[in-house]
Structure 1
Amino acid sequence: MDPIQAAILGIIQGITEWLPVSSEGQSILVMIRHFAIPPEDTIALAIFLHLGTMCAVLVKFRKEFLSILRPESGLLRILVITAGCSGITGIPCYLVLKQSFTSGEGATIIIGAMLILTGIVLRLPSRRSARRTREEITTRDLAITGLVQGFAILPGVSRSGVTITTLLLRNVEQKTALTISFLISVPVVLGAMLLDIGSISEVQPANILIMFVTSFVAGYITMDLLIRFAERVNFSLFCIALGAITIVLSVPGVL
């Protein structure tokens, strides 16, 4: 991977992180199809790309994260429960994924299938008139959301898409669901990076820095605009169509 490719990947991550289209899936597709990066190396790179956008979330929601120091805010409870439950589903998925990503065609078929699944989830009827606030969210709500979030380690599954949909189905108001979805991403991104820290060490430090800076800058600049855009547009058909196209293009290489 050269510096230009690193910058392109950072920009892709910074833009797609705020849309329910699986930023990880989009990045890996570009790495495999256009940059000829071995599939087994793409998982660690895709996970690391989230560091920049995670820092953008930390800056954007800094007041909320500082509220952890105030026990009455309840944020620490939210982060601990969702992160723990995400590990229950996420770690097994990660281990299976590492064994499955052995060929470019096989990897892209997995991504295509997960994009279709994401599209189906996004079509679930959500309660946009829901009124439950953060203070009214139960431990059960958080556990379910955390378990669902763990599956987002699979490229093609949109973490924001499935967690926001889950919270809406649990009758949580849309603005609260959106905020919580991004807040709970921070612990799982850090956890995923720890799982794959050995693989990322093989990447040149300069390229790591470029990926981090470009994903942070692109993510921070586009966050508000793209989140508002995502609230108004249903990406289910886009995910289903992209997933189907990805599978069709990959099948000849498998046969």
Structure 2
Amino acid sequence: MNVFENFWTIVHYFILGLVQGITEPIPISSSGHLIIFRELFGIEARGLSFEIFVNLASLLAVLLIYRKDIVRLAINSWNFIFKQEKESKSDFMFVVYLVIATIPVGVVGVLFGDEIGAFIGEDGTTVVGITLLITAAAIWMIRNLRGRKIEGDLSTKDAVIVGLAQAVAVTPGISRSGATLVASMLMGMKQETALRFSFLLYIPVSLGSSILEIPNIVRDPHVQELWIPYLVAFVTAFIASYFALKWFMNIMRHGNLKYFAYYCVIVGILVLIFL
């Protein structure tokens, strides 16, 4: 590459990192938007490796924001298991439900990950256009819901339903945060509880997929050539994810989810028409 090509490659990956960072925490599908922008920039899609790499950056942002919850859940789970502290049971069960909800997407990823990647490569933008419209309809359904369930009220059924919703969101254009929020709120969770469950559930999924994808990233023949653009995308995604999640937490408190439905409808239609 010459200097000009290097510069524009870095700019392209900066934009991809920004897109990942902004769209991961909010219910508009980060994977779908990455496919759209890679199509616009003519960047060759390489399965799910790049998405998982920048997903790791978003994971770090989520860990930073929810660090106090994570520490509390870990300590109280330890206390319940080894010290039989009854007052810690609620947090222990919350962790159990997170584990249960992680299982469906793990099964789908292991059994069908390669098939999904191949399917995306064949006609990714059409799939994204359709699934963005599905995401919009799902978000519209819950726009006015105000549940009552808090952490101590959750059940195995709630965890299974949310876990199945997350498994469906393996398809690009189906927002992971959107699918889990929709399922959580349909199960009667308060918005704050639904948001916390959704993003704490993101942690084991993102961490697990990142670990499984390490060999593919290492074997990628373009890694040495693109390590600077990848690093730029990673740092950008981390910063953007942090501020996007903070912003979305405020949106959830005020119940303005309908605007995300409007957005998904507009983008989905534009993708189907022009891409």
1:239 counterpart residue number:
264
Coordinate RMSD, CA, aligned: 2.0
Residue 119 of structure 1, CA deviation? 1.1
Whether the 8 Å CA contact 1:134–1:176 is kept in 2: the answer is yes
Whether the 8 Å CA contact 1:55–1:216 is kept in 2: the answer is yes
Residue 77 of structure 1, CA deviation? 0.9
The CA distance in 1 between the partners of 2:273 and 2:111, in whole Å, is 28
Which digits, 9 at most, give the CA deviation of each residue in 1:55-105, with x for residues without a partner? 1110111011112232132243132111112223444452321221334xx
Paired residue total: 246
Pick the structure with greater CA Rg: 2
Whether the 8 Å CA contact 1:28–1:46 is kept in 2: the answer is no
Whether the 8 Å CA contact 2:143–2:256 is kept in 1: the answer is no
Residue 108 of structure 1, CA deviation? 0.5
Taking structure 1 as reference, are residues 92 and 126 closer, same or farther at Cα in structure 2, changes over 3 Å only? farther
After superposition, residues 208-223 of structure 1 pair within 5 angstroms as: 208-223=230-245
1:146 counterpart residue number:
163
Whether the 8 Å CA contact 1:24–1:46 is kept in 2: the answer is yes
SS of corresponding position for 1:123: helix
1:108 correspondence with 2:113: no
Taking structure 1 as reference, are residues 142 and 24 closer, same or farther at Cα in structure 2, changes over 3 Å only? same
Give the TM-score normalised by the residue count of structure 2.
0.82
Q: Which runs of 5+ in 1 are unaligned?
A: 251-255
1:253 counterpart residue number:
none
Residue 43 of structure 1, CA deviation? 2.4
The CA distance in 1 between the partners of 2:57 and 2:237, in whole Å, is 5
2:38 equivalent among 31, 43, 49: 31
Give the TM-score normalised by the residue count of structure 1.
0.88
1:88 counterpart residue number:
107
1:199 correspondence with 2:208: no
Q: Which amino acid aligns with 2:101?
A: T
Which digits, 9 at most, give the CA deviation of each residue in 1:93-122, with x for residues without a partner? 52321221334xx11101111111111211
After superposition, residues 58-137 of structure 1 pair within 5 angstroms as: 58-66=63-71, 67-71=73-77, 72=88, 73-74=91-92, 75-103=94-122, 106-125=123-142, 128-137=145-154
Whether the 8 Å CA contact 1:89–1:147 is kept in 2: the answer is no
Q: Which amino acid aligns with 1:209?
A: L
Which digits, 9 at most, give the CA deviation of each residue in 1:39-64, with x for residues without a partner? 3x152212221111111110111011
Which digits, 9 at most, give the CA deviation of each residue in 1:115-159, with x for residues without a partner? 111112112246733111111100111011011101222110111
Which region of structure 1 is more displaced relative to structure 2, 136-145 or 192-201? 192-201
The CA distance in 1 between the partners of 2:196 and 2:51, in whole Å, is 23
SS of corresponding position for 2:50: helix
Q: Which runs of 5+ in 2 are unaligned?
A: 1-5, 78-87
Q: Which amino acid aligns with 2:70?
A: F
The CA distance in 2 between the partners of 1:127 and 1:108, in whole Å, is 30
SS of corresponding position for 2:121: coil
After superposition, residues 149-168 of structure 1 pair within 5 angstroms as: 149-168=166-185
Taking structure 1 as reference, are residues 169 and 114 closer, same or farther at Cα in structure 2, changes over 3 Å only? same
